[in-house]
Structure 1
Amino acid sequence: MSALFNFQSLLLVILLLICTSTHVHQLFPAILDKNKDGLLGIFWKCARIGERLSPYISLCCVAMAVSIFFGN
């Protein structure tokens, strides 16, 4: 089943995208800062979400891990 048709998998993909973009932006800020527009701007926006909402994102990651561990 594709992640587009399973809501929990879609949320997992979005959380992983936000966390990965934030981590890459902390390591190499110039890569994402020069690509604020266009298709690569999605990663810059995800990095901003991860930086500004980091407590909520981390709580969502913990909740997703618990739900996957206990099997829905």
Structure 2
Amino acid sequence: MTNVYSFDGVLVFGLLFICTCAYLKKVPRLKSWLLSEKRGVWGVFYKAAVIGTRLHLGVALCCLAAAFYVLFIK
């Protein structure tokens, strides 16, 4: 179990947030509802979805590295 208040917990949370928003961008009903705003508080979801779709290889490699770290090193 990762602690949210530690640095590695924040990294894991950020990666999961980016992956979730990128997935929600592919769902048509949720895309129009959740990712329609590009500014403000709701814009964070849109920006995370853009990061997840444009840097999908880097995000996937970071997710694998974080999973390896949490499972075997920590």
Q: Aligning the two structures, in what range does the TM-score lie when normalised by the shorter sequence?
A: 0.7 to 0.9
> What's the secondary structure of 1:15's corresponding residue?
helix
**Any gaps of 5 or more consecutive residues in structure 2?**
none
| Runs of 4+ with >4 A deviation | none
Matched, 1:38 2:40: yes
Percentage of pairs with the same residue: 34
Provide the C-alpha distance between the structure 1 equivalents of 2:47 and 2:34, rounded to a whole number of angstroms: 9
TM-score by length of 1: 0.87
Checking the alignment, whether the CA contact within 8 Å between 2:22 and 2:52 is kept in structure 1 is yes
Instruction: Name the structure 1 match of 2:4.
Output: 3
Provide the C-alpha distance between the structure 1 equivalents of 2:41 and 2:61, rounded to a whole number of angstroms: 28
TM-score by length of 2: 0.85
